[in-house]
Amino acid sequence: MSAISSAIIIGGGIAGPVVATALRQANITSDVYEAYPGPAYTIGSGLGFATNGLAALDIIDVGDAVRDVALDLPTSQMAIGTKVVTLPALPSMEPLRIIDRSDLHRVLHDHAHSRGVEFHYSKRLVAVEESPSSVTAIFDDGSRATADILIGADGVKSLVRKLIDPAAPDATFTGLLGFGGYARVSTPVAPDTMTFAFGRNAYYLHWPLPDGRVAWGANLPSETYLTLTEARARGNDEWLSILRDVYADDEPGGELIANTAPEDFEVVGGLHIMPPVPHWSRGRLVLVGDAVHAPSNSTGQGASLAIESAIELARCLRDFDDAPAAFAAYERTRRPRVEEIAARGAKINSAKTLGPIMRRLMPLFMPIVFGTKKVQARLAEEQDYRIEWNTNAATGTTESAPVRTPRRRDSGR
């Protein structure tokens, strides 16, 4: 039985509401404190969602609600110039899902709220005070909150990370700026298919929407890092004009961007990757989600890993007698997995910034690389991962629990 009975959660994005809900399920009360003035229901574009992330959400009974708002893409292919390679489907795997970050955030927030979690907005954490028996969060409006532990779910630019270890690394720039949009085009794209496309000058991806439009995302190599605010300041018209030039010779990239209206275009800004963080916790403070392991958008695992870690942290807090033991077990379980996936993401990012010679060679290598049993086994292992919620993290004993079968749409895989 845990000696921890209360938690302060900093950040109400994706990991925040999930860890709060899972803690409730573990009989630990928590409130969420978010810097934004309210739920970010309208910010963010599509993000990839993997089977392992959905399986983790099934533990807190919100997997099906997320499946309902996600778009299933049973087929994935890679296009290098005019050469298209269908990526092997992994047996028994749910389809790749794309979900608007704002929809995911809304579903997770509403579910946490329905389980009794309270969200406090316009509460930017600025400092903490620690005592032997508690931790107090101090917010920018001067207000305070005290609990047994404080969980930093405060994203890639985490303050809690620096409060744990002032020497902690910052997220690094991948050398890519992100953009997204929705186009109305006359040339049809492959139905129910995600296409990862290596264009002549830059990488992009696209997928069809049920309403007939085509959604796309672009990763533009850039020597200069731009925050979201800096990138947005240049305006949608200017970025669309730059992207039209970059993708002009790509099919269908050129047509997609030429047929995207400024109001259907979103600037994501500089894309980040988190180097390994030496200290995941200290005393009564601990990190979860992008604050400790943002694996780069190239993996399609950012949100899924954040959710897995949130649930694993709640499980460890439920089963260990004190915070240091729970935090150590949590880190032991999660660190190898998230660092391996981040390393894979870093390799993909290098491929996105390839020079012209390597780009010409890619059609030769890609089918070989993706067809190998080793690569397929690694991807299957990533997605087959399940958190053992019904097994006690401290003793290893398994309690019988109703076997829950998640509702699945026919994936075609």
Ligand X SMILES: Cc1cc2nc3c(=O)[nH]c(=O)nc-3n(C[C@H](O)[C@H](O)[C@H](O)COP(=O)(O)OP(=O)(O)OC[C@H]3O[C@@H](n4cnc5c(N)ncnc54)[C@H](O)[C@@H]3O)c2cc1C
Q: Residue 405 CB, nearest distance to ligand X (Å)?
A: 26
Give the pairing type, strands 135-139 and 29-33: unpaired
Position 55 contacts ligand X (CB under 6 A)? no
Give me the helices (H) in 60-195, please.
63-69, 101-114, 159-164
Q: What single-letter amino acid sits at 14?
A: I
Task: Enumerate residues 79-108 that contact ligand X by CB under 6 A.
Answer: 101
Position 153 contacts ligand X (CB under 6 A)? yes
Among 53, 74, 289, 345, binds ligand X (CB under 6 A): 289
Q: Residue 82: helix, strand or coil by DSSP?
A: coil
User: Taking contact as CB under 6 A, which single stretch among the options 33-41, 114-122, 185-193, 234-242 is the one that binds ligand X?
Assistant: 33-41
Position 285 contacts ligand X (CB under 6 A)? no
Position 181 contacts ligand X (CB under 6 A)? no
Position 137 contacts ligand X (CB under 6 A)? no
C-alpha radius of gyration, the chain, whole number: 21
Q: How far apart are CA 318 and CA 27, in angstroms?
A: 8
- For residues 271 and 171, the answer to whether their CB atoms sit within 8 Å is no
Which residue number is nearest to ligand X in terms of Cβ? 13
Task: Enumerate residues 242-281 that contact ligand X by CB under 6 A.
Answer: 268
Residues contacting ligand X: total by CB under 6 A? 33
Q: Which residues pair with 208 in a beta bridge?
A: 214
Q: Of 259 and 299, which CB lies nearer to ligand X in the complex structure?
A: 299
Q: Of 124 and 244, which CB lies nearer to ligand X in the complex structure?
A: 124
User: Taking contact as CB under 6 A, which single stretch among the options 49-57, 74-82, 254-262, 294-302 is the one that binds ligand X?
Assistant: 294-302
Nearest to 205 by CA among 267, 263, 256: 256
User: Taking contact as CB under 6 A, which single stretch among the options 149-157, 193-201, 207-215, 252-260 is the one that binds ligand X?
Assistant: 149-157
Q: Of 145 and 317, which CB lies nearer to ligand X in the complex structure?
A: 145
Position 35 contacts ligand X (CB under 6 A)? yes
Position 45 contacts ligand X (CB under 6 A)? yes
Any idea of the CA torsion for 321, 327, 331, 332, to the nearest 10 degrees? -30
The string of DSSP letters for 311-377 reads HHHHHHHHHSSSHHHHHHHHHHHHHHHHHHHHHHHHHHHHHHT--HHHHHHHHHHHHHHHHSHHHHH
Position 147 contacts ligand X (CB under 6 A)? no
Q: Which residues pair with 46 in a beta bridge?
A: 100
Position 308 contacts ligand X (CB under 6 A)? no
Q: How far apart are CA 10 and CA 32, in angstroms?
A: 6
Among 36, 173, 225, 370, binds ligand X (CB under 6 A): 36
Position 53 contacts ligand X (CB under 6 A)? no
- Which helix (H) or strand (E) is 184 found in, with range? none
Q: Which residues bind ligand X (CB under 6 A)?
A: 10-16, 33-36, 40, 43-45, 47, 101, 123-125, 153-155, 159, 268, 289-291, 294, 297, 302-303, 306
